[in-house]
Structure 1
Amino acid sequence: MTTRAASNAAPVARLPFPFMILRWLRLRLLARWYDRHLQRLDLAEIDDHLLRDLGLTPEDVRRECAKSFWQT
């Protein structure tokens, strides 16, 4: 009598192709939101001298930093 160790193992489930794309899109969206959050944190740290060089006012910065991470 021969025994098969591999026969008791469950087969690896693969997601259908559309689900893989949806997973990738969700991860990409989360990465974009996190990057936007970090950019707004960095923008809040810039001093007035550099803001003038960029053509921004402190009010522009306050308005941008008040937005939620999902807002553009």
Structure 2
Amino acid sequence: MTARTTFTPAPFPGRRSFPFIAWVRSRLLARWYDRHLQRRDLSEIDDHLLRDLGLTPEDVRRECAKSFWRA
């Protein structure tokens, strides 16, 4: 009869810890929220200030139509 041994896999050497993953996730969510706020603010700018920025109303509509995860 052969002896049974329990197999415990070795940890992955390049595996990141949970705090790192949580940090990356929080940064991504913060970036998305910031992008949402910037597009909302851009949509409220009047035509006079858009001309100063060199933007057209069509540029603003196109940018504001993007989803928050798209750059």
Matches within 5 A, 1:1-72: 18-72=17-71
Identity of aligned residues (%): 79
Instruction: Give the unaligned 5+ runs of structure 1.
Output: 1-16
What is the aligned-residue RMSD (CA, Å)? Answer: 1.4
Q: Return the alpha-carbon distance in structure 2 between the equivalents of residues 46 and 62 of structure 1.
A: 12
Q: Return the alpha-carbon distance in structure 1 between the equivalents of residues 26 and 19 of structure 2.
A: 11
TM-score normalised to structure 1 length: 0.76
Q: Extract structure 1 runs of 4+ deviating beyond 4 A.
A: none
Q: Return the alpha-carbon distance in structure 1 between the equivalents of residues 18 and 62 of structure 2.
A: 37
Deviations 1:48-70 (A, max 9, x none): 00000000000000000000000
Structure with bigger helix share is 1
SS at match of 2:66: coil
Provide the aligned length of Structure 1 versus Structure 2: 57
Tell me the amino acid that sits aligned with residue 40 of structure 1.
R
Instruction: Give the unaligned 5+ runs of structure 2.
Output: 1-15
